[in-house]
């Protein structure tokens, strides 16, 4: 399990410089959903190395979204690396010390949108997989999407459905999201909290503030409802998860003047919840709290909700932690904090863990990663590949 037994390639292994390739990916601007050019760079590298590449486009959300699934080998076990090449917008490009899509390497850093989240990791595990070559027994695969930073309607979730329909089995998956708070080796994700959003509406009657008896102000009732929602913690956390938290993110009546009682008041909220709740039990708790306020309301739970999940401790999680520790000297803490990721879809078909770069600059102006971290991440992925096929093949 802990020995780094090399994979025996059945064809000449390819050599890819992960830093140069990450810079190349950054230079292919891919703000969601325009990720086709960056995805094609990945596809061509994999095809040249002997991978069978499936280019998959879905458009149920109205905009064509490019994705790919690539595999080398036909036997199990199948170890998959997953990730995305779409990125968030760059904001004001004039604020960047280096062009957001220049892929500049300077002062030991790779600069550009996606360097951390997560073109750097895509380049690292592509370099690691191509260096390893085809396993003597088993398969390596890639699941790369162009719709992680967007609505996530036609990305990984659709590729997972496609894999199920084809009977294509993935045994384990490593997702390259940035997981480390401060230094490479700090943490890896073994689960994610669920997410549920809702819109709470109270309807009154619009009127003049000087004649309140002719109107019905909905704001006091909305305040009472928000107080009922937030009066007590949802829970105190569980063995693997921090406490669930409900955050009111907007309160709005759409009223810019001082002499008008509004006719409607609205609050929006999001809950990040742990494994003590299911979506159904959480919805029931929210309704119970709202009903306790004793006022009329309308509640609309939003689409896109996700369940919490956990990849239980075991040989696979230990293998990943061992590989990280062997390279960095730090044993990563198993974490379930943070937002959502495409792991919420992948967990439906196989155990998944997440390990990538340090996330301090992701989504920021001047996003950048140390070149040394990118090279070390590549070696960690190489160790994971070698240990995986020594243990599971």
Mean pLDDT, residues 298-302 taken together = 97
For the residues 299-324, what does the mean pLDDT come to?
Answer: 96
The answer to whether the peptide bond before residue 77 is cis (omega within 30 degrees of 0) is yes
User: In this structure, is residue 28 part of a structural domain?
Assistant: yes
- Residue 295 and residue 365 in one domain: no
User: Which residues, other chains included, contact 160 with Cβ-Cβ below 8 Å and sequence gap of 6+?
Assistant: 345, 346, 348, 349
Give the domain extent around 275: 194-301
Same domain, 170 and 24: yes
Which residue in the list 90, 117, 147, 148 is annotated as catalytic?
A: 148
Q: 18: closest CA among 42, 49, 43, 35?
A: 42
Do 363 and 344 belong together in one domain? Answer: yes
The whole-chain average pLDDT of the chain stands at 95
329-338 confidence digits (pLDDT tens): 999 999 998 8
pLDDT at 233 over 60: yes
Per-residue model confidence (pLDDT) at position 15: 84
Residue 13 resides in a domain: no
Mean pLDDT of all residues in 280-291: 98
- pLDDT tens digits, one per residue of 345-384: 999 999 999 999 999 999 999 999 999 999 999 999 999 9
Asked whether residue 327 falls in the same domain as residue 344, the answer is yes
> Does residue 247 sit within a domain?
yes
Over 60: is that where the pLDDT of 58 sits?
yes
* Same-domain pairing of 168 and 87: yes
Position 388 pLDDT exceeds 60: yes
Nearest CA-CA partner of 190 in 177, 199, 201: 177
Q: Is the pLDDT of residue 10 over 90?
A: no
Q: What's the average model confidence in pLDDT over 149-171?
A: 96
Name all contacts of 52-58 with Cβ < 8 Å and 24+ positions apart. Answer: 56/158, 56/159, 56/162, 58/154, 58/155, 58/158
Q: Tokens 């595999």, residue?
A: 71
Q: Does one domain contain both 100 and 115? A: yes
Q: What is the pLDDT of residue 13?
A: 56
Domain-ending residue, one of 274, 301, 328:
301
Sorting pLDDT into bands at 50, 70 and 90, what band is 304?
confident
CATH code at position 297:
3.30.70.360
Residue after which a domain boundary falls, among 278, 301, 324: 301
Q: Residue 117 catalytic?
A: no
Please give the tally of structural domains in the chain. Answer: 2
244 within a domain of the structure (yes/no): yes
Query: Are 241 and 99 part of one and the same domain?
Result: no
Residue 124: the pLDDT is 98
* Domain end residue (candidates: 301, 322, 351): 301
Q: What percent of the chain lies above the pLDDT cut of 70?
A: 96
- Residue 242's pLDDT band, with cuts at 50, 70 and 90, is very high
Residues 86, 168, 171, 342: which is the catalytic one?
86
Mean pLDDT throughout 305-312? 94
Question: How far is the CA of 295 from the CAs of 110, 127, 207, in angstroms?
Answer: 55, 59, 20
For residue 105, what is the domain's CATH number? 3.40.630.10
Structural domain includes residue 112 = yes
For residue 148, indicate whether it is catalytic.
yes
**Cis before residue 118, ω within 30 degrees of 0?**
yes
Mean pLDDT throughout 216-240?
Answer: 97
Q: What pLDDT is recorded for position 349?
A: 97
Q: Are residues 37 and 115 in the same domain?
A: yes
Q: Is residue 105 part of a domain?
A: yes
pLDDT one-digit tens code per residue, 81-129: 999 999 999 999 999 999 999 999 999 999 999 999 999 999 999 999 9
Question: Domain check: are 67 and 156 in the same one?
Answer: yes
Answer whether residue 109 is part of any domain: yes
Separation of alpha carbons 28 and 184, rounded Å: 26
pLDDT of 147 > 60? The answer is: yes
- 161 neighbors 61 (Cβ within 8 angstroms): no
Q: Tokens 């960047």 sit at which residue?
A: 96
Answer yes or no: do 130 and 219 share one domain.
Answer: no
pLDDT above 70 (res 54): yes
- pLDDT over 50 (residue 8): no
Sign of CA dihedral 366, 371, 376, 382: positive
pLDDT score for 4: 41
Residue 7 within a domain? no
Average pLDDT on 311-321 reads 97
- pLDDT at residue 66 above 80? yes
* The predicted structure's pLDDT at residue 105: 98
Res 11: pLDDT: 43
Exposure letters 19-56 (e unless 16+ CB within 10 A, then b): bebbbbbbbbbbbbbbbbebbebbbebbeebbbebbeb
- 185 and 231 co-located in one domain: no
| 74 and 180 inside one domain | yes
């Amino acid at each position: 399990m802990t020995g780094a037994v090399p994979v025996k390639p059945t064809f000449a292994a390819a050599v890819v410089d992960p830093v140069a390739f990450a810079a190349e990916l950054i230079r292919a601007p891919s703000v969601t959903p325009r990720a086709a050019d960056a995805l094609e760079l990945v596809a061509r590298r994999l095809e040249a190395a002997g991978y069978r590449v499936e280019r998959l486009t879905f458009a149920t959300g109205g905009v064509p979204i490019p994705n790919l699934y690539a595999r080398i080998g036909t036997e199990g076990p199948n170890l998959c690396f997953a990730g995305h090449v779409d990125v968030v917008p760059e904001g004001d490009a004039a604020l960047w010390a280096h062009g957001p899509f220049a892929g500049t390497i300077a002062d030991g850093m790779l600069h550009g949108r996606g360097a951390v989240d997560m073109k750097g990791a895509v380049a690292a595990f592509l370099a690691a997989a191509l260096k390893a070559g085809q396993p003597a027994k088993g398969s390596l695969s890639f699941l790369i999407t162009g719709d992680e930073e967007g609505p996530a309607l036609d990305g990984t979730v659709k590729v997972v459905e496609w894999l199920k329909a084809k009977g294509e089995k993935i045994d384990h998956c490593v997702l390259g999201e940035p997981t480390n708070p401060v230094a490479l080796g700090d943490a890896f994700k073994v689960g994610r909290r669920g997410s549920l959003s809702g819109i709470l509406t109270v309807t009154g009657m619009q009127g003049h503030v000087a004649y309140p008896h002719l109107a019905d102000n909905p704001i006091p009732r909305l305040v009472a409802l928000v107080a009922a929602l937030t009066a007590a913690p949802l829970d105190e956390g569980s063995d693997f998860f921090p406490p669930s938290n409900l955050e009111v993110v907007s309160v709005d009546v759409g009223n810019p003047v001082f002499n008008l009682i509004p006719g409607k008041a609205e609050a929006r909220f999001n809950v990040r919840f742990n494994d003590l709740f299911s979506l159904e039990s959480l919805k029931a708790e929210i309704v119970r709290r709202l009903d306790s306020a004793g006022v009329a309301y309308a509640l609309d739970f939003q689409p896109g909700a996700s369940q919490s999940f956990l990849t239980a401790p075991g040989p696979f999680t230990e293998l990943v932690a061992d590989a990280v520790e062997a390279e960095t000297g730090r044993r990563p803490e198993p974490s379930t904090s943070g937002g959502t990721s495409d792991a919420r879809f992948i967990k439906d078909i196989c155990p998944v863990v997440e390990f990538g770069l340090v996330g301090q600059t992701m989504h920021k102006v001047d996003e950048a990663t140390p070149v040394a971290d990118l090279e070390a991440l590549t070696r960690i992925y190489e160790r994971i590949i070698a240990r995986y096929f020594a243990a599971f093949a």
